[in-house]
A = this chain, B = another copy of it.
């Protein structure tokens, strides 16, 4: 399958922009041959940085933009005043068809608001959602929504299931991913009305996924299902709780190996094995918040990541394009509308 895609990069977004954006693009260029870039930001800085990577420079076009969306800017403010920002211009580049995907490590709220406004949603999609990969006992799973939608109807949750499964099929190559709805118990009677109705729809629908039923918080890291679907409120809380717990455990573990001469020596001997453990949970591996359901591909990189992590975020955008993620979502929502007898556009409401 061809991977010759043009990716628009918001070169000015993120804690260490534009340095890691350019360095990340250089890593991604080697991993995904044929991929080219359109780099939005301050031309003098970008030219200087590209000078260090002549091969990347040959595959990259700089598009000048002097304005930067600040990390604390409100989405509404970004919409009003950010028209000439590197973030907005990179998004508009996808809308205009010059690029097929956009990656930014900048302000999440501004990115979502501007991407929604400029790209709009895919036919049939009512609300976009944020998805991410998460480490599990078995490997990794997809989880969504991670905070784009505070209140979710049954139909929203069903659409998230469709999008999450299409993502697992595209990026992980699973043919019939298992999908679970995040709830407070596994019995059919558990949870609020919307989640129970979403389960009913998913149980009877004919989609390229296997609906597992309800899953609980501990099932996320257990890897019980390939795709965990949640409303944006509890999904965001679950993700951040998992991150906080892992970080606490790592800190205590490091302190453990400083406790005595013996434990220091023990830590030194076990260093290669411990290194493998930390690598397993390396946040760079899971760097990339995918905005699913937009008419275009948009990926949010963590603001504090490094070149490798940024390259992973670019990788998700490339994979979604290469494997036709958006086309799969459109097809599956049409399948769903056949099941329910309601046109996709209306079923989405």
Contacts and interface: CB of A to CB of B under 8 A. Distances in A.
User: Chain A at the B interface: mostly helix, strand, loop or mixed?
Assistant: helix
Nearest to A232: B184
Contacts of A31: none
Given A220-B241, A221-B247, A244-B221, A191 B233 contact: yes
Given A233-B191, A256-B270, A249 B251 contact: no
Contacts of A276: 256, 259
A33 interface: no
Interface residues of A, number: 58
B260 A241 contact: no
Interface string A243-259: 11111110111001101
Interface of A: 135-137, 147, 150-151, 182, 184, 191-192, 216-222, 230, 232-234, 236-249, 251-253, 256-257, 259-260, 262-263, 265-274, 276-277, 280-281
B277 A256 contact: yes
B266 A247 contact: no
User: Which has the most chain B C-beta neighbours within 10 Å: A222, A241, A271, A272?
Assistant: A241
A128 B150 CA distance: 25
The 10 A-B pairs at the shortest CB distance, nearest first, are namely A217-B240, A266-B270, A266-B269, A218-B244, A263-B273, A217-B241, A245-B245, A263-B270, A221-B244, A266-B266
Contacts of A269: 262-263, 265-266, 269
Contact of A245 (B191, B237, B246, B272): B246
A248 B136 contact: yes
Contact of A147 (B184, B243, B256): B184
A273 B251 CA distance: 14
Given A218-B243, A248-B137, A233 B184 contact: yes
A249 B249 contact: yes
A191 B262 contact: no
Nearest to A230: B237
A344 B245 CA distance: 37
B273 A266 contact: yes
A262 B217 CA distance: 35
Given A217-B244, A240-B216, A270-B256, A150 B184 contact: yes
A303 to B, nearest CB: 15
A273 B245 contact: no
Given A233-B184, A270-B270, A274-B256, A221 B248 contact: yes
B237 A182 contact: yes
Nearest to A240: B217
A272 B257 CA distance: 10
Given A191-B150, A192-B233, A237-B238, A270 B262 contact: yes
Contacts of A274: 256, 263
A233 B266 CA distance: 42
